[in-house]
């Protein structure tokens, strides 16, 4: 799907963007792979590893998703856009709300306009569990972003060249916002701070997240929110896996933090279908458009997808193995076992 295509990643110097770059360059032969971000130092550091001499397809573009004119120029000739740029830190968004809105909401509008102006074939926007029933500003801006990308299919007309879809998942192991590197950093002190012992989190590795996005690019028809079926960890078990001899100190829940992660709420559950490896939430407009052509098992009334009610809970040893695999993934030509072939298969 990605061979001989031109691909652009917004926020391409972040954790996800770097992992996506690694996997694309190892497994595919794109015509162009453009890393679009506003940090020239991070681009310089990436270019030391993936330079244009050894990887002729790669390009580095300085730019900000707040700048629509720059996006329009950057999207020229692009087939697929993966929109990963966002302000993601919950406390920072609470303290700087207008900045979060400018990047996460206005930036989404600019990506949509630039994609339509250039007839980009597919746009996949990365969402977050915090967009589902949001209780903090970051989550609210990502919910707004999700709604914008879904609505973009309506005013692009579906029969136009550009379609927009979303991938939503939870805590990513090893990303800058993950608790895992924080626990690893403070474990030598002998104390791991826990906000609430009842807390649970979905866990997905960067490799798994990237491969899920690639699968979604291949099959999306526009208007879907793809949600992978992923494992869950109790925060206390995660702490035991990282610092088995550490004391766990309870410090209390932080503002804007949830006890359990929610990837599909009850209201969205009415629009969701279940498949082997994922759930797909479709807009009412998309359901009307496809009608009986939608496959999968319709989720029951009252369905939610929460880390607090999931039965796929990892043991301490399984968490250790997952963290080890994630830390060693840089040296592996990783492949995902996601199978989304049933999402649009014939009944």
Looking at the annotation, which residues are catalytic? 130
Residue 206 makes CB contacts below 8 A (sequence gap 6+) with: 15, 16, 19, 172, 173, 174, 175, 326, 329
Query: How many Å separate Cα 140 from the centre of its chain?
Result: 16
Q: How far apart are CA 6 and CA 248, in angstroms?
A: 48
Q: How far apart are CA 52 and CA 26, in angstroms?
A: 15
Q: Where are the beta strands (DSSP E) in the chain?
A: 6-10, 32-37, 58-62, 80-83, 122-126, 163-167, 171-173, 191-194, 200-205, 224-228, 231-234, 247-250, 262-264, 272-274, 278-282, 297-298, 305-306
Residue 48 makes CB contacts below 8 A (sequence gap 6+) with: none
- Which of 318, 217, 306, 313 lies closest to 268, judged by CA? 306
């Amino acid at each position: 799907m990605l061979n001989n295509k031109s691909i652009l990643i917004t926020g391409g110097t972040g954790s996800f963007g770097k992992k996506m770059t690694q996997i694309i360059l190892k497994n595919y032969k794109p015509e162009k792979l453009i890393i679009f971000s506003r940090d020239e130092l991070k681009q310089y550091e990436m270019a030391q590893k993936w330079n244009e001499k050894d990887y002729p397809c790669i390009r580095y573009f300085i730019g900000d998703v707040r700048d629509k004119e720059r996006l329009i120029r950057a999207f020229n000739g692009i087939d697929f856009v993966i929109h990963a740029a966002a302000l993601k830190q919950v406390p920072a968004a609470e303290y700087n709300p207008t900045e979060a809105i400018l990047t996460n909401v206005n930036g989404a509008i600019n990506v949509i306009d630039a994609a339509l102006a250039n007839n980009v074939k597919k746009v996949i926007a990365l969402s977050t569990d915090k967009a589902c029933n949001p209780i903090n500003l970051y989550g609210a801006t990502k919910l707004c972003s999700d709604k914008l990308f879904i609505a973009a299919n309506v005013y692009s007309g579906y029969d136009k060249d550009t379609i927009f879809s979303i991938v939503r998942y939870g805590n990513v192991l090893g990303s800058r916002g993950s608790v895992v590197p924080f626990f690893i950093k403070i474990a030598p002190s002998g104390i791991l701070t826990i906000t609430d012992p009842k807390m649970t989190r979905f866990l997905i590795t960067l490799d798994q997240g990237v491969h899920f996005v690639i699968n979604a690019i291949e099959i999306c028809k526009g208007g879907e929110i793809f949600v992978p079926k992923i494992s869950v960890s109790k925060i206390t078990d995660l702490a035991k896996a990282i610092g088995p001899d550490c004391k766990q100190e309870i410090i209390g829940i932080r503002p804007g933090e949830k006890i359990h992660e929610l990837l599909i709420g009850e209201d969205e559950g009415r629009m969701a279908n279940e498949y082997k490896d994922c759930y797909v939430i479709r807009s009412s407009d998309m359901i009307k458009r496809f009608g009986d052509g939608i496959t999968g098992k319709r989720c029951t009334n009252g369905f939610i997808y929460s880390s607090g009610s999931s039965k796929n809970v990892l043991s301490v040893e399984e968490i250790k193995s997952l963290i080890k695999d994630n830390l060693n993934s840089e040296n592996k030509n990783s492949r995902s076992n996601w199978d989304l072939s049933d999402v649009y298969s014939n009944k």
